[in-house]
Amino acid sequence: MAKTSQRLLDPHFVSKLARLDLRARLVVDGFLTGLHKSPYHGFSVEFAEHRQYMPGDPLRHLDWKVLAKSDRKYLKQYEEETNLRATLLIDTSASMSYSSHGLSKLDYARQLAASLAYLMLRQKDAVGMYAFASGRGELIPPRSTPSHLRQLLVLLDRLEAAGGTDFASSLHALAERVKQRGLIVILSDLLDDPERIASAIHHFRHRKHEVLVFHVLDPQETSFQFEREATYIDLESGDRVTTRPQELRADYRTRVKGWMDKIREFCIEKQADYVAVSTGTPYDRALLEYLSKRARLL
């Protein structure tokens, strides 16, 4: 576990994260900004889990049986008392293995995911994870216990980029499984038809989830700075194209910009956050810039 944590969570970066808070911009079930309390007082709610007592917490939910047995103070948490419920969606299709400089898009996405999971669990929010490709996915349901970070990091550490992209099918399937409203964080290169991507995001927004999209791309995928004639191979289909980059560069950049703009515009229309990130930018800087900007907008 220690080696896994060091690979995915840089200690220096963790010290920076500890001074920041992630705050949802839209009202979602189980979350009130700055108050980790339920908006449903007086209603019958289902017991979910324990959390350690912190000075200042109300004593009405103290588990006296646990205190008597272990001499430790724990509070009973109920489904409606949890704060933010977030699910991190990690694209593991074969295209995520691409790297022009040693750090693949999947490596970058898992570092972002590990950092967000650490940050939200530190706030006692519930965090889950969904790794998907080819229309299928592996789901770890959201939990808010500190020990839950280990399970998430173990999953991230063993992810491999393989299989085709079927973004829409994977996300539509998850949208049907996640019943309680919360935050959906998508980390993907979004190499699928924009209309299918839009449909999947709309499904989550229709169910009142807040959606945050990290569009992870390698710098060569936007700049196309290759110089020599070469054969380019599609990582998912195996299709090959031999070409001179300088003859395609201008048209390629125009098409990529149009594709990214279309996804960004739909996200804005549906009130979903869209963040384009390059694997050429240190992930800690990209995340800190986003979180700082988000905090200023609240």
- Measured CA to CA in angstroms, residue 72 lies from 27, 65, 263 at distances of 34, 10, 50
For the chain, the farthest-separated pair of C-alpha atoms sits apart, in whole angstroms, at 76
What are the tens digits of pLDDT across the range 174-222?
Answer: 999 988 889 999 999 999 889 999 999 999 999 999 999 999 999 999 9
Contact 88, 287 (CB under 8 A): no
Predicted local confidence at residue 98, as pLDDT: 95
Predicted local confidence at residue 135, as pLDDT: 59
Say how far apart CA 228 and CA 80 lie, in whole Å. Answer: 58
Report percent pLDDT > 90 for the chain: 42
| Per-residue DSSP letter, 32 | B
- CATH number of this structure's domain 2-24+84-297: 3.40.50.410
Predicted local confidence at residue 216, as pLDDT: 98
Report percent pLDDT > 70 for the chain: 77
Beta bridge partners of 62: 75
Q: Report domain extents, the chain.
A: 2-24+84-297, 47-81
Amino acid at 60: R
Compute φ and ψ for 153, nearest 5 degrees.
-65, -35
Whether the per-residue pLDDT at 120 is higher than 90: the answer is no
Predicted local confidence at residue 122, as pLDDT: 81
Whether the per-residue pLDDT at 28 is higher than 50: the answer is no
What are the tens digits of pLDDT across the range 29-50?
Answer: 333 333 333 333 333 345 556 6
